[in-house]
A and B are shown apart, each in its own frame.
Chain A
Amino acid sequence: MTRKSVQSDDGILVTRHLTKRYNGGVVLDNISLAIEEGKTTVIIGPSGCGKTVFMKHLIALERPTAGKVFFQGKRIDDLDEQQLAKIRTKYGFCFQMSALFDSLTVYENITFPARQHYRITNDKALDEMVKQKLALVGMDGFQNYYPASLSGGQKKRVALARAIALNPEIILYDEPTTGLDPITSDVINELVMKLKEEMQATSVVVTHDMKSAYKVGDRIVMLHNGRIIADGDAEFIRHHPHDVVQQFIHGRVGEAELAALRLGGTRFETQFTPEDFK
């Protein structure tokens, strides 16, 4: 597949030749991708393929070893923290483990970005804002709870409410459904779609949950070993000819891994009981 070279103004978020190495290992290998405004782009791939690292580059939490990242046509990967602070208010980031501040209540968590960036004089309006954001994720009434007393799904929803507290233009979701039961996962999927509709925001979702990817994604990009190996809508991905893609979306283990598992030991060699070690 040949790709035309990606230009900095092709989308709201653009990476060009993005490469990241950690201690010699290549995590991201020359990734050029333009994320279109107003759409939901889903990034899929097996664990450890670099999708979370890729997402952290989009908000400059990680700096690339080589290559560039553009937000609204402006380069962001070389900015210092103070310049980034302004840009980051246009982002909402929903972390994998929710990352709510456990020393603050739900209310304080959601008002955190507002209090950090604006001089708040009207507490009533702030209360109203929190109420509205929590209502959007179906968690109104939980204002005075501490994160420790919420369930995993509830934490995720509060984290979503916090991510949208400043009405971001772009929302990044890091594995929003991981570790949740199927019904709660679907609730989160619905929320992702609802937020996109109501906030008119661009969304980027990193996931390895295919059900969620098909449901929320306008476009699906698959990463494998730090490279993009497939890029298209749900239909395109479903019928993608590449073996790795088919294995991933159907959750099938590859022949090579199976062979490795079989070689791991035969029945008689591995069936030790504790008595054998006496």
Chain B
Amino acid sequence: MIEQLGQNVIKTIGNTGRFSRFAWAAHGTMARTLFKPKTYPRILTQMYAIGVLSVPVVMATGAFVGMILALQSYDQLAHMGLEERMGVLINKAVIRELGPVLAAIMLAGRVGGALTAELGTMNVTEQISAVESMGTDPIRYLVAPRVLACLLLTPLLIIYADLVGILGGFVVSVFQLKINAGAYWSYSASGVEMWDITTGILKGFFFGGAIATISCYKGFNCREGAQGVGEACTEAFVGSFMMILVLNYIFTVVFDAIYKSFWTVKPLL
């Protein structure tokens, strides 16, 4: 049993090290490709696949989050006569947590799965070796554009999710639950701060980077055969999902600490 434990520890450390090196190389090359106009067409192609095509699903996710929040919170708040303040709750929750996290999870499924399957198949059919054998760094050619596209577009997609989430919450609250629209908006405006919006969107960069890096890594290291690619996709999704949750927790703690330390001087800013 101890032997088994030791083996697993060694394996975990080895995998973490390999992943760190991969992530380091990917982000280093990514930064360099930013200054090479030759690679822009490839980045744009990826942006289309990763960003533009994800807009509908991300918007649908956002809309339902806003709508369900309105339905669920109405009874509780109405009980206390606070239903007019629903806007604060819905919008703050959507903008700070639910919008970014759920949009990122949606992307992990839609984009991460596709990236792993694509790169995994390329790996199995030796296309990645072929890139390498022709003297091109596969991380520069294949990974960097994907990571860059995902990293830059996730925050934008989060803005979409937030926007539609706010609208969804508004529509259900005002038209279905008959809350006064003026009160709804004025309470929302007083409750939601610029800080909430900034941190929510800021998270997107990290979520996007994590999704693309994990998915590409899994694709590059997938085992042979249909089963290998399938397993890699599963691992990529579970890995991205977990990473999103962990990162989200860390950011909430960090941003909270920053917020609290500047809270006293905020009126001056």
Contact = CB atoms under 8 A, between A and B. Distances in A.
Given A81-B137, A85-B135, A93-B129, 12 more contacts: A82-B137, A84-B135, A85-B137, A87-B135, A88-B134, A91-B135, A93-B133, A95-B129, A95-B133, A97-B126, A99-B127, A116-B135
B130 A101 contact: yes
A56 B126 CA distance: 12
8 contacts: A84-B135, A87-B135, A88-B135, A93-B130, A99-B129, A100-B127, A102-B125, A116-B136
How many chain A residues sit at the interface, stated as a range, is 20 to 34
A137 B215 CA distance: 38
A232 interface: no
B47 to A, nearest CB: 16
B132 interface: yes
A113 interface: yes
Contacts of B19: none
A81 B125 CA distance: 21
Contacts of A96: 126
Contacts of A113: 134-136
Interface of A: 56, 59, 61, 81-82, 84-89, 91, 93, 95-97, 99-102, 112-113, 116-117, 162, 166
Contacts of A162: 134
Contacts of B136: 85, 112-113, 116-117
A89 B134 CA distance: 6
B135 A95 contact: no
Interface string B124-158: 01110110111111000100000000000000000
Contacts of B127: 99-102
CB-based closest 4 A-B pairs:
A88-B135, A93-B133, A99-B130, A99-B126
A61 B133 contact: yes
Contacts of B135: 84-89, 91, 113, 116-117
B134 A112 contact: yes
Given A97-B125, A97-B126, A116-B141, A61 B134 contact: no
A95 B134 contact: no
Given A81-B137, A85-B137, A116-B141, A61 B125 contact: no
B137 A88 contact: no
Contacts of A86: 135
B162 to A, nearest CB: 33
Nearest to A86: B135
Contacts of A101: 122, 127, 130
A164 B33 CA distance: 28
A47 B93 CA distance: 60
Contacts of B129: 56, 61, 93, 95, 99
A271 to B, nearest CB: 31
A56 B133 CA distance: 9
A61 B141 contact: no
Contacts of A116: 134-136, 141
Nearest to A112: B134
Interface string B38-72: 00000000000000000000000000000000000
